[in-house]
Copies of this chain bind each other. A is one copy, B any other.
Amino acid sequence: MENVVQVEVRWSECDPFSIVFYPNFFVWFDHCTWKLFQAARLELPMLREKFGFAGMPLVGAESAFSRPVRAHDAVAIHSRVSHWGRTSFKVTHRVMLGAEQAAQGLETRVWTCTRPDEPAGIKAVRIPREVIDILDGPAPR
């Protein structure tokens, strides 16, 4: 399952060199991961109730940038889970500017649940089979 999000670059997402300030690509990646889950009908309230889900913090993030993106450009970001570990997973994001790829990013996230007895109150746990099956399957209609 892949999800595509259209992003129109805001003026304010560009820096004084008139190109996108690079951390904003990661802002988009994060947004696209949430949209991927939403497209799969894995919404936050349901995840909280059903699995005790407490977020999916990042342990790693990276991106390669191959061409500049500018204010008011319209990009399409293609996102999918590209790897499942036991408690962690990777989301790949391709930023397309028309037919050309402008950037490719990778987020490594950890699946966590609330654990009142833990010092941080949360704990990395095994990713639910159901979540994996949905995100590995076809997009819901």
Contact = CB atoms under 8 A, between A and B. Distances in A.
Chain A interface SS verdict (over half): mixed
A81 to B, nearest CB: 18
Contact of A64 (B38, B44, B60, B71): B60
Interface stretch (A8-16, A90-98, A131-139): A8-16
A46 interface: no
Contacts of A54: 17
A30 B31 CA distance: 20
Interface in A4-29: 10-12, 14-19, 21-24, 26-27
Contacts of A11: 15-16, 30-31, 34
Nearest to A70: B16
A99 interface: no
